[in-house]
Amino acid sequence: PGAKATAGALAVVAAIVAFPGSQAFLPGFDGGFGSSGGSKQQMAGQGDGAPSALGFAPKNTTQKFEDPDSEYLPEQILSTWFGVGPSGAVTQGGVKDSKRRELLSSDNYIAEWKKRFAKVMSTENGRYQLARQMNSYQLALDKCLKGEYRTKKEWNGPFGLLAQLVLVDQFARGCGAKPLENQKTAEKLSEQICDRGYFSKYEMMEVEQAILPLLRSEDAKLQMKAHKALKRCAKRFKKQESHFEAMSAYAEGNAKAIRYFGRLPSLNAVLGRTSTREESAYLDVLSGVAERRQQQQMMERYRKEESSRNQRFYPDGVKLDPTSAQAAVSAR
């Protein structure tokens, strides 16, 4: 079930499964589009000891914490995460008051955004520094998880809820949270965003962030909510229509898989669960392994047929050209 997902959606979910939260990163972390407000000296953590992998809070540090009661914190969180906040102001290294749409729905900006994340994640020190920057929001994360922001105006509305979601689903990884530890809280926030129709107020990168918890949910109803929301986004973002259609198809496939298996097989590895034989076959289809195996079998069968034909017509033997077998399989 659900094996019709396209390569685009699979790439998105592969990143989610491998590292929940890795679809987004801090573009301003290395002094680019935005900044969390802490100086590089503060984030360097002199005397912190050995760097740790992202997902583990730095220990024995003199950490600078962001003020959890600041009314400007939601804007700061989003501007740190996406490189530009709801007001459109870029805090560092960019043009002031630039339109969010010009950046957050721009293919060029998104490509640069992913490039910067890959650069940060490519080194142990980069991952450690990223964890430190996330860890500076620990006090705000604690309040968010306790529900203390539910009644505060600045933490509600489309961007307040999105800021809460970034805290519990992304920054929590730098505060020691395990993968999917806050999944239920993230699901509730994402569902609220969906039910209130806030996706219509987001740009492409914000939509992708807000929808991720629903795509990881093991509730078929929530997967279908994501499916319908992404369908609407496909109509709205015409240039990225195929991308959102692919994600929508993936959500629908997830719902079918949950109804069939009773859970989402693609989360088995992250949650330490053993896949059944049937689930393994399903995952093979999703990853394209089954298709590649089928192609290899067809090539082997063609080679045998060609070899038999050569032996009949050319007794002395003829060496086969592998590319001709590949071309024949492709043609079929």
**Residue 283 · residue 275 · CB < 8 Å:** yes
Least confident window among 4-8, 138-142, 163-167, 315-319: 4-8
Least confident window among 55-64, 144-153, 240-249, 259-268: 55-64
Span 249-257, average pLDDT: 93
Helix (H, G, I), strand (E, B) or coil at 105: coil
User: What global pTM score does this model have?
Assistant: 0.70
Most trustworthy range by pLDDT among 4-8, 127-131, 141-145, 314-318: 141-145
The CA-atom distances, in angstroms, between 237 and each of 107, 112, 242, 314 are 12, 20, 9, 59
| More confident of the two residues 314 and 172 | 172
| More confident of the two residues 87 and 150 | 150
Span 105-134, average pLDDT: 86
Residue of 120, 226, 168 lying closest to 21 (CA atoms):
168
pLDDT digits (tens, 9 = 90+) for 173-206: 888 888 889 999 999 999 999 999 999 999 999 9
Distance CA(25)–CA(38), nearest Å, equals 17
pLDDT of residue 318: 47
pLDDT of residue 55: 38
Residue 13 has pLDDT above 80, yes or no: no
Distance CA(33)–CA(93), nearest Å, equals 5
Residue 42 has pLDDT above 60, yes or no: no
pLDDT of residue 27: 35
| More confident of the two residues 88 and 287 | 287
pLDDT of residue 179: 83
Residue 114 has pLDDT above 80, yes or no: yes
